[in-house]
């Protein structure tokens, strides 16, 4: 497994690198297919934030799967331990969840909130949104654009992300790995933009977006 350690506004000592090499065995024990681990250490120069002066971010890549965790502490060694605890917990939960799924158990019971009707906006906001949409149509994968809303300090940042449609179960798996409370995806069963989110424990919700016109159509006629 490839291990990459970099620093932002700080130098990485050999002792820290040696400890990282040793502790990464915890990752390979849980995720033996892990191919690459990237660790970024960031130093916060504000003396008022001495207790969280060092932040450690860990990103694990195993094929197309990505797991992340981060933590801050007074020193990089403590931050590494905290972040690694978070990461291994997420990897274990994802591993156990896959095992339960193969056995036929599905503890994650999504709650479908249905389609959401579009809300009304005033004419000025619609005009600004139209201009942002026009710019977004020219974006390529991974590209972004920022549009200021009139004379206000509000700036809207648009970015195009290409993703393969996936099932709800696959979206929950990806959400667990990156440690977020929600995950945006395209539901391959409905082709709708959707969000899975954490409710409590192993209970999750599913939020789908569609237009009123599409909802009125028979399911068999949807593309």
178-212 per-position pLDDT tens digit:
777 888 999 998 888 999 988 876 688 888 888 88
Q: Of 82, 75, 83, nearest to 15 (Cα)?
A: 75
Q: Are 202 and 107 in contact (CB under 8 A)?
A: yes
Q: Given this model, what pLDDT does residue 113 score?
A: 44
Q: Of 122, 111, 130, nearest to 197 (Cα)?
A: 111
What span, in angstroms and rounded, lies between the C-alpha atoms of 171 and 173? 5
What is the arithmetic mean of pLDDT over 56-80? 88
**Positive/negative CA dihedral, 171, 177, 182, 183:** negative
Q: What percent of the chain has pLDDT over 70?
A: 74
Which comes out higher in pLDDT, residue 22 or 175? 22
Q: Are 58 and 85 in contact (CB under 8 A)?
A: no
Question: pLDDT tens-digit profile of 107-165?
Answer: 444 544 444 444 444 444 444 445 545 455 566 666 777 777 777 788 887 877 778 89
Q: Model confidence at 80, in pLDDT bands (50, 70, 90)?
A: very high
What is the topology classification, in CATH, of domain 123-221? Answer: SHC Adaptor Protein (3.30.505)
Q: Given this model, what pLDDT does residue 138 score?
A: 65
As a whole number, the mean pLDDT across the chain is 78
Q: Given this model, what pLDDT does residue 114 score?
A: 46
Q: Where in the chain is the domain with CATH 3.30.160.100?
A: 2-103
Torsion angles phi and psi, residue 192, rounded to 5? -100, 145
What DSSP letter does each residue of 180-218 carry, written as one string? -SEEEEEETTTTEEEEEEEEETTEEEEEE---HHHHHS-
Q: Where in the chain is the domain with CATH 3.30.505.50?
A: 123-221
Which comes out higher in pLDDT, residue 20 or 176? 20
Q: Are 160 and 140 in contact (CB under 8 A)?
A: yes
What is the topology classification, in CATH, of domain 2-103? Answer: Double Stranded RNA Binding Domain (3.30.160)
Q: Are 173 and 199 in contact (CB under 8 A)?
A: no
Radius of gyration of the chain (CA): 21
Q: What percent of the chain has pLDDT over 90?
A: 25
């Amino acid at each position: 497994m490839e291990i990459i350690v970099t620093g932002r506004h700080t130098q990485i000592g050999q002792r820290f690198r040696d400890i990282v090499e040793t502790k990464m065995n915890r990752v390979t024990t849980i995720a033996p297919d892990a191919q690459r681990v990237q660790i970024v250490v960031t130093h916060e120069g504000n003396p008022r934030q001495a207790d969280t002066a060092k932040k450690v971010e860990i990103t694990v890549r195993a094929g197309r799967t990505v797991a992340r965790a981060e933590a801050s502490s007074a020193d990089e060694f403590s931050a590494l331990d905290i972040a690694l605890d978070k990461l291994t917990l997420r990897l274990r939960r994802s591993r156990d969840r896959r095992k339960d799924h193969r056995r036929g158990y599905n503890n994650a019971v999504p709650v479908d909130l249905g389609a959401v009707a579009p809300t009304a906006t005033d004419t000025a906001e619609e005009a600004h949104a139209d201009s942002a949409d026009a710019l977004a149509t020219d974006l390529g994968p991974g590209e972004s654009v920022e549009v200021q809303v009139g004379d206000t300090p509000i700036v809207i940042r648009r970015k195009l992300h290409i993703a393969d449609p996936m099932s709800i179960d696959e979206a929950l798996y990806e959400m667990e790995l990156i440690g977020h409370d929600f995950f945006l995806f395209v539901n391959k069963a409905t082709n709708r933009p959707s969000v899975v989110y954490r409710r409590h424990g192993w209970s999750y919700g599913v939020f789908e977006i569609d237009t009123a016109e599409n909802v009125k159509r028979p399911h068999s006629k949807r593309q």
